[in-house]
A and B are shown apart, each in its own frame.
Chain A
Amino acid sequence: DAGVTQSPTHLIKTRGQQVTLRCSPKSGHDTVSWYQQALGQGPQFIFQYYEEEERQRGNFPDRFSGHQFPNYSSELNVNALLLGDSALYLCASSLRPGTHGEKLFFGSGTQLSVL
């Protein structure tokens, strides 16, 4: 049973560039959330996708966008990269969103460095 997989593992970009990160959820899960984890900090919620639509969004600018495909996999896109976007980007999957505190399963993340 494959867990949450993310690609690539590491990425180096320069300021102003655009980047796409990819995530495949755990088998049986249909909801994907993305988190940004800066060095020494806890994960910060970016957004959540369910049924190919963005359902929830954290306090991130429009430069951060996403997509969910019919097979439940997801992409995170960041445009006009800033130095401050350097972080570990974590993908988490769960069952459909609700109010029951669904347990998140995390991938190992993509380490993005912006130079």
Chain B
Amino acid sequence: AQKVTQAQTEISVVEKEDVTLDCVYETRDTTYYLFWYKQPPSGELVFLIRRNSFDEQNEISGRYSWNFQKSTSSFNFTITASQVVDSAVYFCALYNFNKFYFGSGTKLNVKP
């Protein structure tokens, strides 16, 4: 069975703090993709990153970074020096067998 778990329901930080959003996934397949999406209050999910199961190299994009560890089935997302505009719900998703499986999301509140 495919499953994505985001144990952190809601996180509140003060602007400029670093924050890490956790994602743990389950799949028996060896070929799969992992994604992170951001959902602002407008409702539209915005793509952040895609990783395939054979690429465990960490990635950094500006203030965002992702840590993929197959040994622990985790794909964590870190925002450095958070800003108020980062406030949103963040979803981790697993893609295989032509289907997406989303976690329940983590709501991030960044306070000024």
Contacts and interface: CB of A to CB of B under 8 A. Distances in A.
Contact residues on A (Cβ < 8 Å of other chain), bracket: 20 to 34
A106 B44 contact: yes
A58 interface: yes
Contacts of B103: 42
B31 A99 contact: yes
Interface string A25-53: 00000000101000011111100100000
Contacts of A105: 47
A99 B52 CA distance: 11
B43 interface: yes
Nearest to A88: B43
Contacts of B91: 42-43
Contact of A104 (B42, B43, B100, B105): B100
A107 B44 contact: yes
B98 A42 contact: no
B95 A101 contact: yes
A44 B102 contact: yes
Contacts of A103: 35, 47, 50
Contacts of B100: 33, 35, 43, 45, 104
A105 B44 CA distance: 9
Interface of A: 33, 35, 40-45, 48, 55-56, 58, 88, 90, 92, 97-101, 103-109, 111
The 8 closest A-B pairs by CB, nearest first: A101-B33, A42-B102, A106-B45, A108-B44, A109-B43, A108-B43, A101-B95, A42-B104
